[in-house]
Structure 1
Amino acid sequence: MFELVQAVLRSDEKSDLRQLIAKFRSTDKKYLLRNEILQAFEQTCHSLNKPPYFFHSSRLGELIQLTHEVLLEDESLWIILRPRIARQVILRLSSDLSGVDLMPAEALLDLRDRLVNRYEPGILEIDVQPFYDLDLTIQDPRSIGEGLACLHRFLAAELGKDPQQWTQSIFEVLRGHQHSGMSLLINDRIHSGEHLQQQVGEALALAHHAVPHASYEDIHLELQSVGFEPGWGSTVAQARETLELLARLLQKPDPGVLEALIERISVIFKVVLISIHGWVGQDGVLGRPETAGQVAYVLDQARHLDRKLTLDIHNAGLDRFGVKPQIVILTRLIPDCDGTQCSLPLEQVQGAEHTWILRVPFRDGADSVLQQWISKFDIWPYLERFAYEAEQALLAHFQGKPNLMIGNYTDGNLVAFLIARRLKVPHCMIAHALEKPKYLFSDLYWQDLEERYHFSLLYTADLIGMNAADFIVTSSYQEIMGTPDTTGQFESYQCFSMPQLFHVVNGIELCSPKFNVVPPGINERAFFPYHLTQERTEAEGDRLAHLLFTQEDAQILGYFKDPDKRPILNFAPINATKNLTGLVECFALSQDLQDRCNLVVLTGKLHPSEAINAEEQSEIETLHHLIQQHDLEGRIRWIGRPISSMDLGEAMRAIADRRGIFVHSARFEPFGLTVLEAMTSGLPTFASQFGGPSEIIEDNISGFLINPTNLEETANRILEFLERCDAEPNYWENISERAIHRVQDRYNWNAHTTKLLALANLYWFWNQLTPHNREALFRYLELMFHFIYKAGASKLLEHPHHFKS
């Protein structure tokens, strides 16, 4: 990259660069982002009468295509290049273009502070890079998110360097495995790794002489006498296969054999899923609008983990010895809970035999229980006390320690860190949607936003949680690394400034094998194809069709003059990121769309008085204004009431019955669970190209990607689809079927839980082998917790600022 800039400066294109810089400076902005940079370059090319190829193929064009940020000082120009995913190069050009310097991240962070007039010398710098093992980093960016495979290869190669140590390590891991005081796999009749090698042969000889389909119990006492305990399989044949894998592994460390053995051994029995700030319930309550997706995810994940663990325990032969899975969804107890069950300390999850919701209250500085729900942005002062009380409640419920902590969102992962650190159990992080990428420049201007959002606490907690986690589960690759044109969610934490608080020089190692892409499934009871008529009831279909198209009440705005038009559906909470206002404006500005379609908007609220914060209130008011300004009466229905997952599924099928479409208009979507739900219902789906939908949808094959900020282009894409539907009678059905198959093939809970538990097994195994390899990192994170996070949370507790519920 340095050479590319020098080549531009030595060529005739230097004068073109000078013109471009003048264009930058004419904007009076000190900070330009990628879209602004490309727009300025396009205008410069036009004004200089450059040929079309110049924009992409010239040396200057190549340089600008790689430029993601430009920062303007009086005496210099700084450009931040992204030559490949997750790699940043910082260059400073002198104002007269006489020289170029390669700059460190620290200098860039100082500059950012100066540009917002908040520079402070000697600021705290956070750098986690020294705590990561460079030998364990993934070199090929295309393999980022495949930590499971990477770690298997590394373990086999590393431990295979010393065969004697390898066998001893395997012995020590197996010897330490137990459940509720009962030894599993091997007992104290086996004394060492070398002895284990000998005894595996004895065990296999016993298994080979037994009837293959006989129960493990038939040979239990014989195997116990040579040092082996239950956990190898439910039948003689299964136990023999697992023991053969162990024998092969002890002879030669092979990644494939290691992976197969670890997946067959049951080590996870007690799992905690932490989802704190939402209303986690079942009957009549499924989160607030800001958390409904997360709560649905956690409940679905818990139910499928219940089934998968039950199956794994059976296949390991442990159910006959009294072993059962135990799963807890840990959340907050809310006494003032609008008549729901969110005030119950313990509630069994419907459709899951071994899963419970465990609720622990928040307490304030006076030790009083907080009575009401509070926003996710305001919960930070209560988490440390919550973690301590939750730990005691979990130990009592499980009658011992859990085997795995799964944190959801920032708060859940901070609590998971605090509990997992003390109990020394593996911690899995699921972020769902990191907040930092949603709020442009929220790091630089955090002080202006602190009263409402408390970003200083949120981003500190993110740094702690993502570095503390043993492994991180994301729904898509780009959550980690982004795309060639966009920054990944986790990538945005690599290098950033919180002026006058701290600088993050290296916030997370993106090439760590802790990252794993494990897409979720969907609630198949609620969301299934519209043409499965045997799964639907006429009464429910009529009720939801009435709600969507004809029902009148105080929470519904609008009617349809021509109800036979093709319906467009959008379902989303009301916030700026979801961009409902953009969709309504897109519809309002396209007379062709209005002539051919009706618009149905499903949200949780209709009136400004229902908003829980200023952002929601502003979005609701803007929606009302757009409808009135563009006279959309008779062409739009806004249904502003909460809707259950079951009803939403039937609503989507009702839209599909009328050959409608689904438009997901979010400016940025971290993953896109609603997109999956619409597609599996059979709706041709248009969704944002920014974020997870670009991995879900094969553009023009199983759906359509749109730029939701380009309203004219979005309208044209929808109209092109409608015109093709008119020209080709089966086109709607073809896209619908491809959408259904895409989701069924790639996004299902069985695959999700299988990989999640394979990861948990592997990282459990890894921690047994290297129990102290991360102690220095944990100490560093504890300092951040006590001296940055806890100090700020204590101040917030003195002056709480809660949004209304």
Structure 2
Amino acid sequence: MSELLQAVLDSEERSDLRQFISELRHQEKSYLLRNDILTAYTDYCNKYQKPNEFYNSSNLGKLIYYTQEIIQEDSNLYLIIRPKIAGQEVYRLTEDLSVDSLTVQDLLDLRDRLVNRFHPNEGDILELDFGPFYDYTPTIRDAKNIGKGVQYLNRYLSSKLFQDPRQWLEGLFNFLRLHQYNGTQLLINGRIQSQQQLSDRVKQALVFVGDRPSDQPYEEFQYELQGMGFEAGWGNTAGRVGETLEILDELLDSPDHQTLEAFISRVPMVFKIVLVSIHGWFGQEGVLGRPDTGGQVVYVLDQAKNLEKQLQEDTTLAGLDGLNVKPKVIILSRLIPNSDGTLCNQRLEKVHGTENAWILRVPLREFNPKLTQNWISRFEFWPYLETFAIDAEKELLAELHGKPDLIVGNYTDGNLVAFLLARRMNVTQCNIAHALEKSKYLFSNLYWQDLEDKYHFSLQFTADLIAMNAANFIISSTYQEIVGTPDSVGQYESYRCFTMPDLYHVVNGIELFSPKFNVVPPGVNEKYYFPYSRTEERLPSDRQRVEEMLFTLEDSAQIFGKLDDPSKRPVFSMARLDRIKNLTGLAECFGKSAALQEQCNLILVAGKLRVEESDDNEERDEIVKLYRIIDEYNLHGKIRWLGVRLSKTDSGEIYRVIADHQGIFVQPALFEAFGLTVLEAMISGLPTFATQFGGPLEIIQDKVNGFYINPTHLEEMAEKILEFVSKCEQNPNYWYEISTRGIDRVYTTYTWKIHTTRLLSLARTYGFWNFTSKENREDLLRYIEALFYLIYKPRAQQLLEQHMNR
């Protein structure tokens, strides 16, 4: 039994537990989530005048703190307790407080009964269990090391060297013989025939390059090295070749994980990368702010530019310039014929500021041209992914003159296509979720049937399970994205165990302790987003134009609201206009606080201004809601709403102009997977208030370089903003202190140089692991294919038939 529960039952607090349960019986809710439980416990303590010490420190208080869910069924109470990160226990309490432990299957049956109370399942339901496929792979033991997969894998691999050095060194030797570029052999040639010979020749080569000037170009001594058995790829100078061979020599003689990582990170094995981002408008101008785009487009474009730059740098350092090696990065997206004036109808578009990075757009097959020639919501996109992947494979092979070395998926649809491509081409697959919708929409799996017409979560969650389990490695922006915090469940953790009533039970959906998980946060595009104080880099014309747009410009079809007093401190936010981004919540928070209206103006850059201009259901609902809030709280003269499409230049300058006015940035999302706008605001110098639900918890250090807010508590949110504004009035330096610390935080932790170096190191390490471990993934991939063809594909076909009739 849970130690938390046992401690209560073995103490005088047993009667308090009984009393608390009695209070719960009077509630209408039969399913309580953590916030409901904490509220009920607070009410209980207040009603029975319990001291603060009891609330915070009693055994019952600790039990309540770690209880994620309470379900009431008949006379029984079920507690879902999460005593530690990535751990869950389920117990049934009867009326006389006797306790039974429940299995995962029991819990899923219970949840099904809650949904189908009047139509219980007849017979069994399909169970999905990925657990056995992870039994033969290394797993991390300590939850605090989740997300550090590559460090763990390197330790594991280097320990294998000690346990079975002959077999392992044979694997390393064969791995080095493997590498070529367009048919040209790299690293070692046929003059080295065994791992012992490799060790001897490395020592010989070290003496040879050690006698040469460290800056002597590789081309001047390449033939001598070839005679010893070494081809290009070790370095571009004698010094660099010597460093690489020294690391290999150390790895062969006395291996450890740091040496292994240092060596593998230098192996030239990644030259062609495909980044899959398919559902939205993907372009370089005129696409941001569209439904389903924005953050992901910015992320992938910046990633592509910096990956290509890093690949070029790595290629030069490896001494491959003489072989005319040209690294290539392709962003795979969909071609949209009716592209609304953007370049999304263009097959191939070069990425600005790069030598060899491209956007490759592949059209959907014309099942119904009325749909497939236009943008399609991410919630409706599922029927087209398989045929898109088949068509995209041909296009990629033609553009790359062969297979890519790495395929990176973005979002659920991109990750599923990445799986289909990687499976067909036998290529390393990386997943980046950006956001897992299951965490964003409450009870979305439990009541999926009620939401299916609008969101099609049965397809999305099945695609998530397929892609995340098939991936060789997964990148998350934060630790909590994987396994949450001590008091909240992570996005990936939510896939470990769940039910979709009448469809399937997931008893083990993902192994959170797998070394495939790695935390690699993105960076900020420093060309467009930089501190407001760097005035020499700002164009006066841009600054003046943005200033007018934000505060004074009238008679614009894209701007709503005229400010009575433009000199007030601006409270600013910029996001998509959808329910999760919660800009309407920020507007209501502002509307409820007369004091905040007295001190500040509210400025929003968000979506469209008119319902008839939007194709997205959620955006239309939020437009209506925002106008209603403005009227209800009479915010006319105090709010300005810009429904504009912004270039990156203007987007960066908007943050800086708000900073010129000593404004603040508020990110009020109900949930935010990472928070790119938080980074953009902070690097620009804006004191930032961001949601405590999601990634900003790891970006911001509360009250040090920014502030956490709870977007569900509007009055409390207003008070926190007001408290900051008041401190700034009393101490003019306070705004500058928070601003400066925010800038420093981004520059030390969130740059694209850090991100791309890490990503390429991961790609090489997992490629090496796949080769040397001889891990047989075929059984896992066959299981995943069964899920795709027996669950996903028939449901996608049903949705396609609906689309054909529109």
- Cα deviations by residue, 1:127-157 (Å, 9 ceiling, x for unpaired): 1111114661111111111111111000011
Whether 1:726 and 2:753 are equivalent positions in the alignment is: no
- Cα deviations by residue, 1:653-692 (Å, 9 ceiling, x for unpaired): 1111111111111111111100110111111111111111
What displacement does 1:557 show?
1.3
> In structure 1, what is the equivalent of residue 763 of structure 2?
760
| Pairing partner for 1:391 from 375, 379, 393 | 393
State the alpha-carbon separation in 2 of the partners of residues 588 and 339 from structure 1.
Answer: 37
- Cα deviations by residue, 1:460-508 (Å, 9 ceiling, x for unpaired): 0001111111111111110001011111011111100000101110111
* SS of corresponding position for 2:283: coil
State the alpha-carbon separation in 2 of the partners of residues 58 and 218 from structure 1.
Answer: 75
Amino acid at match of 2:508: N
> In structure 2, what is the equivalent of residue 16 of structure 1?
16
Q: In 1, are the aligned partners of 2:581 and 2:671 still within 8 Å (CA)?
A: yes
State the alpha-carbon separation in 2 of the partners of residues 74 and 554 from structure 1.
Answer: 58
> In structure 2, what is the equivalent of residue 466 of structure 1?
468
Amino acid at match of 2:307: L
State the alpha-carbon separation in 1 of the partners of residues 683 and 128 from structure 2.
Answer: 44
What displacement does 1:287 show?
6.6
* SS of corresponding position for 2:386: helix
State the alpha-carbon separation in 1 of the partners of residues 309 and 194 from structure 2.
Answer: 36
> In structure 2, what is the equivalent of residue 670 of structure 1?
673
Q: 1:593 to 1:802 in 2, by over 3 A?
A: farther
Q: What pairs with 1:421-460 in structure 2 (closer than 5 Å)?
A: 421-460=423-462
State the alpha-carbon separation in 2 of the partners of residues 94 and 386 from structure 1.
Answer: 53
Between stretches 326-335 and 217-226, larger displacement belongs to: 217-226
> In structure 2, what is the equivalent of residue 476 of structure 1?
478
| Pairing partner for 2:538 from 536, 539, 555 | 536
Whether 1:692 and 2:695 are equivalent positions in the alignment is: yes
> In structure 2, what is the equivalent of residue 79 of structure 1?
79
> In structure 2, what is the equivalent of residue 29 of structure 1?
29
Amino acid at match of 1:590: S
What displacement does 1:205 show?
3.0
- Cα deviations by residue, 1:217-262 (Å, 9 ceiling, x for unpaired): 1221111122111000000111111112112211232211111111
What displacement does 1:645 show?
2.2
Between stretches 710-719 and 243-252, larger displacement belongs to: 243-252
Q: 1:368 to 1:452 in 2, by over 3 A?
A: closer
- Cα deviations by residue, 1:40-75 (Å, 9 ceiling, x for unpaired): 111111222222211121121111111010011103
State the alpha-carbon separation in 2 of the partners of residues 343 and 31 from structure 1.
Answer: 48
TM-score, normalised on structure 2?
0.97
State the alpha-carbon separation in 2 of the partners of residues 691 and 628 from structure 1.
Answer: 31
| Pairing partner for 2:642 from 639, 642, 653 | 639
> In structure 2, what is the equivalent of residue 786 of structure 1?
789
Whether 1:796 and 2:799 are equivalent positions in the alignment is: yes
Q: In 2, are the aligned partners of 1:364 and 1:797 still within 8 Å (CA)?
A: no
Between stretches 281-290 and 652-661, larger displacement belongs to: 281-290
Q: 1:801 to 1:568 in 2, by over 3 A?
A: farther
Q: In 1, are the aligned partners of 2:496 and 2:511 still within 8 Å (CA)?
A: yes
| Pairing partner for 1:332 from 330, 334, 341 | 334
- Cα deviations by residue, 1:275-298 (Å, 9 ceiling, x for unpaired): 001111113334723221101110
Amino acid at match of 1:731: Y
State the alpha-carbon separation in 2 of the partners of residues 699 and 343 from structure 1.
Answer: 44
State the alpha-carbon separation in 1 of the partners of residues 78 and 526 from structure 2.
Answer: 51
What displacement does 1:167 show?
1.6
Whether 1:592 and 2:595 are equivalent positions in the alignment is: yes
Q: What pairs with 1:301-340 in structure 2 (closer than 5 Å)?
A: 301-340=303-342
Q: What pairs with 1:196-207 in structure 2 (closer than 5 Å)?
A: 196-207=198-209
Q: In 1, are the aligned partners of 2:444 and 2:457 still within 8 Å (CA)?
A: yes
Q: What pairs with 1:517-596 in structure 2 (closer than 5 Å)?
A: 517-552=519-554, 553-596=556-599
State the alpha-carbon separation in 2 of the partners of residues 485 and 151 from structure 1.
Answer: 28
* SS of corresponding position for 1:359: strand
State the alpha-carbon separation in 2 of the partners of residues 22 and 623 from structure 1.
Answer: 41
> In structure 2, what is the equivalent of residue 100 of structure 1?
99
> In structure 1, what is the equivalent of residue 612 of structure 2?
609
**How many aligned positions are there?**
802
What displacement does 1:364 show?
4.2
Between stretches 470-479 and 278-287, larger displacement belongs to: 278-287
What displacement does 1:646 show?
1.7
Q: 1:670 to 1:801 in 2, by over 3 A?
A: farther
Q: In 2, are the aligned partners of 1:168 and 1:194 still within 8 Å (CA)?
A: no
Amino acid at match of 2:353: G
* SS of corresponding position for 2:191: coil
> In structure 1, what is the equivalent of residue 2 of structure 2?
2
State the alpha-carbon separation in 2 of the partners of residues 459 and 192 from structure 1.
Answer: 48
What displacement does 1:369 show?
9.3
Amino acid at match of 1:441: F
- Cα deviations by residue, 1:539-573 (Å, 9 ceiling, x for unpaired): 11111111111112122111111111111101111
- Cα deviations by residue, 1:344-400 (Å, 9 ceiling, x for unpaired): 111111111110111111114489992111111111111111111111111111111
State the alpha-carbon separation in 2 of the partners of residues 663 and 415 from structure 1.
Answer: 35
State the alpha-carbon separation in 2 of the partners of residues 802 and 463 from structure 1.
Answer: 30
State the alpha-carbon separation in 1 of the partners of residues 7 and 722 from structure 2.
Answer: 45
Whether 1:747 and 2:750 are equivalent positions in the alignment is: yes
What displacement does 1:23 show?
2.1
Q: 1:369 to 1:66 in 2, by over 3 A?
A: closer
* SS of corresponding position for 1:265: coil
Q: In 2, are the aligned partners of 1:374 and 1:802 still within 8 Å (CA)?
A: no
State the alpha-carbon separation in 2 of the partners of residues 45 and 419 from structure 1.
Answer: 56
Whether 1:234 and 2:236 are equivalent positions in the alignment is: yes
* SS of corresponding position for 2:365: coil
State the alpha-carbon separation in 1 of the partners of residues 138 and 694 from structure 2.
Answer: 28
Amino acid at match of 1:701: V
State the alpha-carbon separation in 2 of the partners of residues 432 and 76 from structure 1.
Answer: 39
Amino acid at match of 1:107: D
> In structure 2, what is the equivalent of residue 379 of structure 1?
381
Q: 1:771 to 1:416 in 2, by over 3 A?
A: farther
Q: In 1, are the aligned partners of 2:282 and 2:293 still within 8 Å (CA)?
A: no
Amino acid at match of 1:544: V
State the alpha-carbon separation in 1 of the partners of residues 371 and 562 from structure 2.
Answer: 45
- Cα deviations by residue, 1:261-317 (Å, 9 ceiling, x for unpaired): 111222110000000011111133347232211011100000001110000000000
* SS of corresponding position for 2:175: helix
> In structure 1, what is the equivalent of residue 50 of structure 2?
50
Overall identity of the aligned pairs, in %: 55
RMSD between superposed Cα atoms in Å: 1.6
Q: 1:547 to 1:300 in 2, by over 3 A?
A: same
State the alpha-carbon separation in 2 of the partners of residues 56 and 767 from structure 1.
Answer: 49
> In structure 2, what is the equivalent of residue 245 of structure 1?
247
Q: In 2, are the aligned partners of 1:475 and 1:671 still within 8 Å (CA)?
A: yes
Amino acid at match of 1:9: L
Whether 1:60 and 2:56 are equivalent positions in the alignment is: no
| Pairing partner for 1:358 from 357, 360, 366 | 360
Amino acid at match of 2:613: E
* SS of corresponding position for 2:141: coil
What displacement does 1:159 show?
3.3
Q: In 1, are the aligned partners of 2:90 and 2:103 still within 8 Å (CA)?
A: yes
Q: In 2, are the aligned partners of 1:177 and 1:183 still within 8 Å (CA)?
A: yes
Between stretches 17-26 and 142-151, larger displacement belongs to: 17-26
Q: In 1, are the aligned partners of 2:302 and 2:525 still within 8 Å (CA)?
A: yes
Q: In 1, are the aligned partners of 2:291 and 2:616 still within 8 Å (CA)?
A: no
Q: In 1, are the aligned partners of 2:445 and 2:498 still within 8 Å (CA)?
A: yes
Whether 1:40 and 2:43 are equivalent positions in the alignment is: no
Amino acid at match of 2:755: H
Q: In 2, are the aligned partners of 1:287 and 1:295 still within 8 Å (CA)?
A: no
Between stretches 683-692 and 278-287, larger displacement belongs to: 278-287
